[in-house]
Amino acid sequence: MEPIRAFELSKEYLESLRDGIEFLDNDFIIQSLDGANVADIAAILDELNMDEAIYVLRLLDSDTSADILIELEEDSLVKVIREMEPIELAALIDKMDSDDAADILILMPSREREEVISHLQEREKSANILDLLRYDEDSAGGLMAKEFIRANQNWNVVQTIEEIRRQAEKVEKIYSIYVVDNRQHLLGRVSLKKIILASADTKIADIYEPEIISIPTHMDGEDVAEIMRKYDLESVPVVNAKNRLVGRITVDDILDLIREQSEEDIQAMTGISADVEESDSVFRISKARLPWLLIGVMGGLMGSQIIEFFEVGLQKYIALASFIPLVAATGGNVGIQSSSLVVQTLASKSVFDDTPWQRFIKALLIALVNGVVLASFVFLIVVFVYGFEYIFGLTIGLALFCVVLLSSFMGTVTPLVLDKFGINPAIASGPFITTANDLLGLAVYFGVAMYLLKL
């Protein structure tokens, strides 16, 4: 008998697993996945078709299957939960923290979501999930979990330890014990170390730390991430408008949010108009990429019209055509550099940040320095290396200087304007800035040439 092959995240194992599913070799499937990290199992299931993934999930114990669901990519997750019976999915939801359960249920139509919730065993879990579903998924309320440890300020250490034991059954990770009054108002936090070292009759009111950072339910997720990063927090309590403790956000929730936001920004900066994965269909990926590519093509066509408009001048100074790529490439690079710095600053806002006007002045000074250096360098190369006359070298140099100033202006101002109107400033980078600067750069280039060369 061939020995059971241990799990390994590889194409070879994926093929072995598919064979095991095809031949209903349940022993191989269960034993090979035993002890594997749920994130790795999720990565494997993402590669299987839907019937295969469901088959494996049903073989594994409910705790493991619940953890795997949380780790699945959203596209795969949506397909899986559509195939599962409401009572079957409810059994897995019962094993999850409320925030993870809400993240899954929000992907379902309202009617099906309510049916799943109706099958949940714990009434408290149902209430917690329904509460979380009220909030925007990218707000603090949508990110928080309802499972956390709290202690009343009037309890002594013995009472607190007993309560921690009771509450800890539903809390996977204990970062802090939050201290509340009789009306559940957040007062502060107390560490496990202080509780353990204190005498049995010590009151929590005597040992808790009142200095605590809390966040309101309506705070945007990106702002929550910035607070946790700035103060190096593993968890942060969430309070409602009356300062009552309603949940907590842990660092793993924030890491997921940061990853999603980064992917969205990268796709926006590269001109992809929808959230796509490499594993998506050819049609879906093409549909996401085409809008900005079409805009780029339209920009190129408009650029050709600008060149055609100056066709007479080009016939007189044919060498002008050879420097068009230099002007276009420099303008695009300067614009992307400027916009990327602004987008990065906007993503991590600080009270000490410069005002938009100060940013504009600073960008102008940087552009002046870069423009003078680049224009002087090109002038020297054109005149003393390529052998063109001084007036031609001055034309190329001055045109390049103007393009650097214009591109820097576009790259700085466009993200600031978009941010002001609540539009993701990342879309200002990449194709948008490049296309705009190509057109404006060509117009400036030929405009300077017409003036200096008397075309």
Query: Do 315 and 418 belong together in one domain?
Result: yes
pLDDT at 427: 64
Query: Do 229 and 294 belong together in one domain?
Result: no
Query: Do 128 and 153 belong together in one domain?
Result: no
Domain membership flag for residue 269: no
Domain membership flag for residue 224: yes
pLDDT at 351: 47
Region of 97 please: left (phi>0), alpha (psi -120 to 50) or beta.
beta
Q: What is the CA radius of gyration of the chain?
A: 30
Domain membership flag for residue 330: yes
For residue 155, give the amino acid letter. Answer: W
Query: Do 419 and 375 belong together in one domain?
Result: yes
Query: Do 356 and 406 belong together in one domain?
Result: yes
Tell me the pTM.
0.67
CA dist., res. 53 & res. 147, Å (int): 29
Q: What is the 3-state secondary structure (H, E, C) of 63-116?
A: HHHHHHHHHCCHHHHHHHHHHCCHHHHHHHHCCCCHHHHHHHHCCCCHHHHHHH
Per DSSP, 389 falls in state -
Query: Do 341 and 449 belong together in one domain?
Result: yes
Counting the structural domains of the chain, the total is 3
Nearest C-alpha neighbor of 212 from the set 227, 193, 199: 227
CA dist., res. 409 & res. 411, Å (int): 6
Domain membership flag for residue 265: no
Q: Which domain holds residue 200?
A: 149-260
Query: Do 118 and 174 belong together in one domain?
Result: no
Query: Do 255 and 157 belong together in one domain?
Result: yes
Domain membership flag for residue 305: yes
CATH of the domain at 256: 3.10.580.10
Long-range contacts of 355-364 (CB under 8 A, 24+ apart): 356/416, 359/412, 359/416, 360/409, 360/412, 360/413, 363/338, 363/408, 363/409, 363/411, 363/412, 364/405, 364/408, 364/409
Query: Do 439 and 328 belong together in one domain?
Result: yes
pLDDT at 335: 82
Q: Identify whether the C-beta of residue 205 lies closer than 8 Å to the C-beta of residue 153.
A: yes
Other residues' Cβ atoms within 10 Å of the Cβ of residue 209: 13
Domain membership flag for residue 88: yes
pLDDT at 54: 93
Structure tokens at 74: 């959203």
Query: Do 167 and 214 belong together in one domain?
Result: yes
pLDDT at 1: 39
pLDDT at 114: 92
Domain membership flag for residue 4: no
Q: What is the mean pLDDT of each run of 10 residues along the chain (455 residues)?
A: 61 90 91 89 90 93 93 88 93 92 92 92 89 91 91 94 84 86 95 91 94 93 88 92 93 81 64 58 69 74 78 76 87 82 68 66 88 94 90 93 91 80 67 78 88 81
CATH of the domain at 405: 1.10.357.20
> Which residues lie below 8 Å from residue 446, measured CB to CB, with a gap of 6+?
306, 307, 309, 310, 313, 320
Query: Do 70 and 115 belong together in one domain?
Result: yes
pLDDT at 52: 92
Domain membership flag for residue 434: yes
Query: Do 386 and 329 belong together in one domain?
Result: yes
Q: Which of 70, 99, 133 is the last residue of a domain?
A: 133
CATH of the domain at 47: 1.25.60.10
